[in-house]
Amino acid sequence: MTFPTLRQLLLSVVLLCGMHAASAQMQPMSEDELSNTHGQGIVTMTNTSLGGYDFSKVVLEADIALSANLRNMRLGEYTYSARNGGGADLDISLMQFGRSDGTEAQRLVQISNPYFEFVYKNAADGASREAIGMRFGFESISGDIGLQIKTLSGSMRVTGTAADGSALVLDSRNDALGGKRWDGACTSSCLSLSQLGGVTAGDASGGSRDFWVSLLKTGVQFPTAAGLPASDPAQAGVWLNWRDKLQALNTSGIAPPNLPKGR
């Protein structure tokens, strides 16, 4: 019986010493130190409301480098009587993240904070809550993205330079139907979708901040991203928004190659 009691006594002493050491080392933080301390989660959430709709946003707090090729993308294949166009809201034959004919850095596209945002009406009432749709986007994207877009439903603006050095602009706001099932045709000194072989997203000040694709049953004005003007309202169906800091890669309509890096 004596031995266990001795062990318990020794253990108590060790624990007391440990507690003393710990309490002696811990110091209260000053206000300045406290203000410099912050925690961050892998995922962040936001609940907002705007224009009679309720939004719940889930953001993955991550930095992503990507090389990928997407081909034959047709989203929202249904009949749209006002202008059926190619029969789909988005008809993108090629979307490639990165390029293999440039520098090592150009091989990859840098993406920050991908997110999903869900849209409801009457979100607080479980009996009348209504699903309006959702969107997927990136809070920042920078790099070279090869693009061949046949039909666009969305709000997109890209600046370019003609062979003679004059400035060109592709802007879906010039479409009479507001960018729904737009083939990108334009007249005068403008950049058409068929001339667009890709974009450089972002500039020296940072990435492009308004890339998102929505899926909606009715038109919705999404909340505005920090530092940006209000986005155009998204129309019903599949809708692509991308206007911030986009420069055309070329006006030939040819996307650069994006082959894998050999190992």
Partner 1 sequence: MRALLGVLMMAASSVWAMEPLSDSALSSVRGRDGVSFDLNGFAMSGDARVTYTTPTGSSLYAEKFAASRSDSLLPFSDPFRLDIVPGAPGLADVINIAFPVNANGEQRWQMAYDWGVGANGVVREQGSVVVKDMVLTGGGLQFTTPQINDGIAFGAALKLDIGQLALQPRGREDATEAMVLSGIHIGGADGGAWAIANVASQPAVINALNDASGPRLHIGIDWPDARYGSGQAPAGSIAVDNISFVSPGQPTVDLGSSRIGSIQIQYLDIKFRQ
Binding site for partner 1 (CB under 8 A): 38-48, 54, 56, 58, 60-79, 88-89, 98, 107-108, 118, 120, 123-124, 126-134, 215, 217-218, 236-238, 258, 260-263
Task: From residue 222, give the alpha-carbon distance in Å to each of 21, 209, 219.
Answer: 54, 14, 10
25: alpha, beta or left? (left if phi > 0; alpha if psi -120 to 50):
alpha
* Residue number with CB closer to partner 1 (118 or 174): 118
* Residue number with CB closer to partner 1 (71 or 173): 71
* Residue number with CB closer to partner 1 (75 or 190): 75
* Residue number with CB closer to partner 1 (76 or 207): 76
Minimum CB separation from partner 1 for residue 212, in Å? Answer: 16
Amino acid letter for position 24: A
Minimum CB separation from partner 1 for residue 230, in Å? Answer: 20
End-to-end CA distance of the chain: 68
CB atoms within 10 A of CB 220: 22
Minimum CB separation from partner 1 for residue 153, in Å? Answer: 11
3-class DSSP state for residue 194?
A: helix
Minimum CB separation from partner 1 for residue 176, in Å? Answer: 23
Question: Who contacts 94 (Cβ-Cβ below 8 Å, separation ≥6)?
Answer: 69, 70, 71, 146, 147, 148, 255
* Residue number with CB closer to partner 1 (145 or 168): 145
Minimum CB separation from partner 1 for residue 222, in Å? Answer: 16
Phi, psi of 105, deg, nearest 5: -65, -30
